[in-house]
Chains A and B, each alone.
Chain A
């Protein structure tokens, strides 16, 4: 993985000092909360319902054990002993005090981490496929390009006060695990006919109040042109993106209102001036960043094949965990292990300091010292020998981290909701917990199969409900919480936006409604092979609406 050089270290230290000065001026009253707000946001500090919240960047979701131990230490020392992994592959602390934040940032800098641009109207933490560097189906590791973008976008003088936040995701497989079509810019690393690397570029995807899938503006952008082309996009957006209404300020609205042909022509015209300028990436620089991500030298561990079969036979719990949480690695003797942060009835994405320390130790012992954070709020050890899966499982089990539910109905994404968030209209966490408890039975979960439930506590859609197979949106109606359900959303290479079923449900009816939807699917599917989303796409919304509301109302709706 990438290691800071002296320049990076000096930059991050200077950024900590800059922020320390800003916090001191705020605490002394020299700057107002209004003027402080964009400054603290650009360093990941939010003012929430009960306290400040600090969001720490995990660039493209990659961590080593030293960094994870530091995250545990921060949770223990400055917070209440836990942290919350987010859908942007970051970690949030919910209870730090403002005066401690400069000290926390200094501790993070010791392990090559920061909170730069984890919020604010700037280019946010660049995300990538959480299986990067390990997946069998990728054309190359996407993370070197995410790292180049991380560096280039840090404290960018021209693009720090954009109309709205700006999110970039990079994937390198046809199977999109980074949800690039719901990002402001989505990049798919690919090879052209001559085998050269470049990107398909998508712009204008996003969720929030107006969910829109991204449009492709370039089929093949040579890798050397990455920064010049993105600069052209950013400049056109910075000048012309709407600033009169924050709900219409994302680039997706500019794409929608201008038309993708015209906007992409404007981007091309700007790019023509920039393309052969100083932003052109020299091959040597691309190679140097790639060298940090050189594939791990993985020793053959063929003994794991036989052992795995025997272990699975003797322990159905282990077998179930391997079946759900271990995915094929490009090396046949290895697997990619998902560590579920979705225990039954738990808070999605939360991990205690002790659990973080345990994951860090296990990454060293079994995982070549590499950890990933997924946008589905789980952790991954990307390089584990099959021969090490059993001892790893035992150790995870002891820490409450061996829930065998990756991709199942209890692997729920949920935003913090009204329990923490100042923007929320409704609670998300208790809804997730209630659904998780209802479907706790592993046999029932296995029967249902792949099903993604995503829950947001307000229209900002941090819980990605628009792309949930079952999406749940909490709204406020006449002072009470009400939950709208949508069906058929998907954030992968076949991306789609979910459609609302009809009238909303009161908090104590949501889980019943989910159960009705699941039962409808089970009764309608062609067989075990037809997943929920495939079945929904075949039969449409009507059978589900009829089951939820009765036939008359379904027809009326």
Chain B
């Protein structure tokens, strides 16, 4: 069973999730570019080798972007997310799908993901308890809103 989690908790009745827990209504990059003139907001699921910059011309048509982790050790989507946020300037919902595990979620949050499709039961359990295993001190800037860290220009401290 896949659940959707954000920093506000578990999301019920997510419009991009079907009754069986699978993603619903999400289209590929090519389909999104084809339907850019439609009136309904688009949900786009990019493949790990898609260039996120291709979304730039249709940014205002997009309601959600899903980036996929085909395996937990395939980290391309971390760079895709950073580019989408910082280069393309996408400000909408950015969802991690695929192999989304508790130990990677803090890194995903830092690189700009704000929504997570999770099916791994121990991960779901920890998210329900809000027990995230991240470290609040960072040695590098990333996409997340972090305060300037003490000491050197490259350090950051988690906001909040």
Contacts and interface: CB of A to CB of B under 8 A. Distances in A.
- How many B residues are at the interface, by size bracket? 35 or more
Nearest to B75: A161
A6 B74 contact: no
B137 A157 contact: no
A22 B80 CA distance: 27
Contact of B78 (A21, A25, A148, A157): A157
Contacts of B92: none
B149 A160 contact: no
A25 B152 CA distance: 35
Contacts of B76: 238-239, 243
A11 B135 contact: yes
A279 B75 contact: no
B128 to A, nearest CB: 14
A425 to B, nearest CB: 25
Nearest to B101: A35
A31 B101 CA distance: 10
Contacts, number: 108
B21 interface: no
Nearest to A6: B150
Interface string B33-68: 000000000000000000000000000000000000
A7 B149 contact: yes
Contacts of B72: 35, 38, 161
A20 to B, nearest CB: 10
Nearest to B70: A243
A154 interface: yes
B54 to A, nearest CB: 13
A35 B101 CA distance: 9
B111 interface: yes
Given A11-B135, A38-B72, A38-B73, A157 B111 contact: yes
B27 interface: no
B133 interface: yes
- Listed residue (B75, B108, B142, B149) with the most chain A CB atoms within 10 angstroms of its CB: B75
B78 A161 contact: yes
A156 to B, nearest CB: 6
Contacts of A151: 139, 152, 154-155
A14 interface: yes
A90 B130 CA distance: 36
Contacts of A121: 73, 75
A157 B142 CA distance: 8
A157 B73 CA distance: 13
A15 B78 CA distance: 21
Given A11-B137, A38-B72, A278-B141, A288 B153 contact: no
A155 B139 contact: yes
A117 to B, nearest CB: 11
A158 B154 contact: no
Given A152-B140, A243-B74, A238 B79 contact: yes
Contacts of A289: 152
Contacts of B95: none
Interface in A271-314: 273, 278-282, 285, 288-289
Contacts of A160: 75, 78, 107
Contact of A22 (B103, B106, B111): B103
A35 B121 CA distance: 13
A10 interface: yes
A158 B111 contact: yes
Nearest to B137: A11
Nearest to A21: B133
A14 B136 contact: yes
Given A38-B72, A151-B154, A235-B79, A11 B107 contact: no
Contacts of A288: 151-152
Given A152-B140, A227-B154, A161 B80 contact: no
A281 B78 contact: no
Interface in A1-60: 5-7, 10-11, 14-15, 18, 21-22, 25, 30-31, 35, 38-39
Interface in A139-177: 148, 151-162
A279 B142 contact: no
Q: Which of B135, B140, B151, B155 has the most CB of A within 10 A?
A: B140
Nearest to B77: A161
B152 to A, nearest CB: 5
Interface in A491-549: none
Contacts of A159: 75, 78
B135 A15 contact: yes
B151 A5 contact: yes
Contacts of A238: 75-76, 78-79
A292 to B, nearest CB: 12
Given A153-B140, A278-B153, 17 more contacts: A6-B150, A7-B151, A14-B135, A31-B122, A35-B103, A121-B75, A153-B139, A155-B107, A157-B107, A157-B142, A160-B75, A161-B73, A235-B82, A238-B79, A243-B74, A280-B153, A281-B153
Give me the 3 closest cross-chain CB pairs, A-B, nearest first. A161-B75, A157-B110, A157-B107
Interface of A: 5-7, 10-11, 14-15, 18, 21-22, 25, 30-31, 35, 38-39, 121, 148, 151-162, 227, 235, 238-239, 243, 273, 278-282, 285, 288-289
Interface of B: 72-76, 78-80, 82-83, 87, 101, 103-104, 106-108, 110-111, 122, 133-142, 149-155
15 contacts: A7-B151, A35-B72, A154-B139, A155-B138, A156-B140, A157-B78, A160-B75, A160-B107, A162-B75, A227-B140, A235-B79, A235-B83, A238-B78, A282-B153, A285-B153
